[in-house]
A and B are shown apart, each in its own frame.
Chain A
Amino acid sequence: MTTKRLSIQRYLPEQGNNTPYWQDFDIPFDDSTSVLDALNYVKEELDGSLSYRWSCRMAICGSCGVMVNNTPKLGCQSFLRDYEGPVKIAPLAHFPVEKDLIIDMGLFLDHLAAVQPYLINDSRLINDSEEGTETFKQTPAQMEKYKQFAGCINCGLCYSACPQFGLNPEFLGPAALTLAHRYNLDSRDQGKKQRMPQMNREEGVWSCTFVGFCSEVCPKNVDPAAAVNQGKVESAKDMLIGIFKG
């Protein structure tokens, strides 16, 4: 089996290292070895103290984001076979690093929660009767409008790709704004009015300068850049209407 050199950024404050440093490991690999497999190999065979997050190992839980050669990637979905030469692995950019490859996700979750990412509808029905309950109607075409934006796995890669978030962590960021837009576009939802103030803020859609890298790195083709910029159109309309209404 051939081996590949992995340079992993380590950060171990408890061991008295207050700055990160690089450590090299040689990993045996074949066609099916993912970056996550490689990290697991390091942990199980070479250094049990290496810390990183993972769970589903099938690109759906969103835990395993890392920078692979300076680009945000899901570890379980990136394969060593696709990289020439040594592979550099670092924690996701623009987030505080807690230990090795583990970042603090707290702010990301706050941003998600801030946009009221749930269906808002007056005809709310908590069905107490056992039968006779009905779903909303929604045609495939109506669903098509938001479906892509509902595919976000909250992995945070887009935040690491976004220089605006890097410069100002208060920026709600691609995933949160996409989620807001997803609900705004849902034919069953009536909560747009409640969500717009968040989007209208400077830290809302208007911090975005359409770099577009977020959509490039998104592992689920959610296209957050599109959502955010559609959000700008909505926000502009909303503010205009606001002006006319006084």
Chain B
Amino acid sequence: MAKRTSYFPELKRNWWLKHPYFKKYMAREATVLPLVFFLLCLLAGLYSLLQGAESWQGWLTFMQSPLVIAVNALAFIASLFHAWTFFQLFPRVMPLRAGGRTLPPNLMVLGQWFGVVVVMVLAAWIFMRGL
């Protein structure tokens, strides 16, 4: 049999730079980085609380430095962005049906955001009461 000579272009490591859609995907995936930072901060806070007042104070100062605030603000925005992408996708993964019809995706996305607001208000209420 004659040999087939095919050419197989390997995917390079920068494949995701080749198309705007992939960049957006990478941005979505990258939201995890500031979030990790935020979680580390929380862990550090917990740890310093156990270490005593001094280290707690140190942690508080650290948290108030503009850079850290900026990164955490970024984390907040990133998590909203991530939630947005996730909410968009959710109706497609879990199509809900009511009365024999699939619920319109827009309605489901709205429903999820409504959920977020409810949770936030609840958290704020508990937090305020605690003060």
| A interface residues with partner B (beta carbon < 8 Å) | 11, 13-14, 18-20, 70-71, 93-94, 96-98, 104, 141, 144, 163, 166-167, 209-213, 215-216, 223, 225-226, 229-230, 232-233
A94-B11, A166-B11 as given contacts; A229 in contact with B6, CB under 8 Å: no
Q: Which residues in B have their C-beta under 8 angstroms from that of A97?
A: 6-9
Which of chain A's residues has its CB closest to B21's CB? A213
A8 to chain B, nearest CB (A): 15
Q: Which residues in A have their C-beta under 8 angstroms from that of B9?
A: 93, 97
Q: Which residues between 62 and 97 of chain B lie within 8 Å of chain A, taking CB atoms?
A: 89, 92-95
The 7 A-B pairs of least Cβ separation, nearest first, read A226-B92, A96-B6, A13-B5, A229-B93, A166-B11, A141-B100, A96-B8
Contact with A along B38-69 (1 / 0, CB 8 A): 00000000000000000000000000000000
A18 to B8: give the CA distance in the assembly, Å: 11
Which of chain B's residues has its CB closest to A167's CB? B11
A98 to B4: give the CA distance in the assembly, Å: 8
Asked if B22 and A213 make an inter-chain contact with CB atoms under 8 angstroms apart, the answer reads yes
Q: Which residues between 1 and 51 of chain B lie within 8 Å of chain A, taking CB atoms?
A: 4-9, 11, 15-16, 18-19, 21-22, 25, 29
A133 to chain B, nearest CB (A): 29
Asked if B92 and A70 make an inter-chain contact with CB atoms under 8 angstroms apart, the answer reads no
13 contacts between A and B (CB under 8 A): A11-B7, A13-B6, A14-B5, A18-B5, A97-B6, A104-B4, A166-B11, A211-B25, A212-B25, A212-B89, A215-B92, A226-B93, A230-B95
